[in-house]
A = this chain, B = another copy of it.
């Protein structure tokens, strides 16, 4: 298949950008950090916003948990390895990445389960108020769980897009219990302003909860500084904790004493080993815990977080913006943005997270064609090619390489091939 004439110029432009990319990578303060990850040779992995890559520290740490802590020390590891304290200990490490001072973040359960805690918990912190606002474009589990919590707690969920949230919050006024938003849209990668929505909620006496699944580990979040009340997020995307790594829950210090979450399991009890018959919440964020946590997965996350050693969220964000900007520049230089392929992600750095999403009528097949070329992104309904640039291991060269493959897929109309249009298993 011969490339169209336009693409010859495009490929030349990309060659120039590749040289720039090499210089940027060499100069990057995060240049050494990619070495902290195991990545298959030659793969351009742009799906770290779905499953983060494997940090090199993890396999040995997990083997130690399994063979020594569990196999040899057995039950004694609850004390000797402080398994008992792991959820809050790892929570504090996550807190460092999302701007939360110690003692407000706990690693526990899944994001879905934690959302249930925040919705019911928020309603109890604001008794008498019945309205919860949420983005209709939220990741679906946020919608499902919020509806489920509202059904039990007799709340009224209203779906309001984040661009209209500040106005809607003011309009609902003193019936608003909670504004529950994602900082970064999982499909478009658009970033919403944590501070203005949080301030609007506070102005009417309500709380704000932030879903950080697509921001924790990829950008500055600033929970404390932004005045967030509650937050949740997952451990397996930009935190690289492994498939289904436990999620986290943040409750601002000022709410902790009154945070009354609905899943009162024994690990959230003040004195669990007294085995008393009445629940009494533990002081602090420990009350966010429920049952015995999956320690192998939890301690894998702890080891994974060492990949962030020495990095500030600001430095991570700088790298993320530099790489995503270069990718967008490459698409511009190649002239592929237009009728069929459009940016779903805002160009303005302050309005995007760490992914670049593109709309294309054959988005599914475009993603499959890219995967076949060793550029792994994912498809999201209905027309989104989603490319996540995990700043710890996706390089500038990766960005230009991915752009080049995309140009070739489009020029060669590879997305029309049967092998790529066929929808099989889930991705």
Contacts and interface: CB of A to CB of B under 8 A. Distances in A.
A54 B66 contact: yes
Contacts of A136: 277
Interface string A254-275: 0000000011111101001111
A27 interface: no
A192 interface: no
B381 A274 contact: yes
Contact of A120 (B53, B152, B245): B152
Interface stretch (A5-13, A76-84, A346-354): A76-84
Contacts of A50: 75
A294 B245 contact: yes
Given A59-B63, A425-B79, A293 B84 contact: no
Interface string A60-84: 0011011101111011111100011
Given A54-B66, A242-B70, A290 B381 contact: no
A297 to B, nearest CB: 3
Interface string A29-63: 00000000010100101010011011000110011
Contact of A51 (B54, B70, B112, B290): B70
Interface string A378-419: 101100000000000000000000000000000000000000
A262 B425 contact: no
A426 B62 contact: no
B298 A244 contact: yes
A228 to B, nearest CB: 21
A54 B70 contact: yes
A292 interface: yes
A337 interface: no
B148 A75 contact: no
A331 B50 CA distance: 57
Given A111-B291, A290-B113, A297-B294, A74 B266 contact: no
A143 interface: yes
A94 to B, nearest CB: 15
Contacts of A300: 66, 296
Chain B CB within 10 A, most for which of A47, A51, A144: A144
A110 interface: yes
A189 interface: no
Contacts of A111: 291-292
Counted per complex, copies of this chain come to 2
A140 interface: yes
Contacts of A290: 110, 112-113
Contacts of A127: none
A109 interface: yes
A425 B76 CA distance: 10
A376 interface: yes
A189 to B, nearest CB: 15
Contacts of A51: 70, 74-75, 78
A253 B43 CA distance: 45
Interface in A226-263: 234, 236, 242-247, 262-263
Given A110-B291, A144-B264, 9 more contacts: A38-B71, A78-B426, A78-B427, A84-B425, A143-B279, A144-B279, A145-B264, A148-B264, A243-B295
Interface of A: 38, 40, 43, 45, 47, 50-51, 53-54, 58-59, 62-63, 65-67, 69-72, 74-79, 83-84, 109-113, 116, 120, 136, 139-141, 143-145, 147-148, 151-153, 159, 234, 236, 242-247, 262-267, 269, 272-279, 290-298, 300, 376, 378, 380-381, 424-427
7 contacts: A43-B74, A79-B427, A139-B266, A144-B265, A148-B264, A152-B153, A244-B295
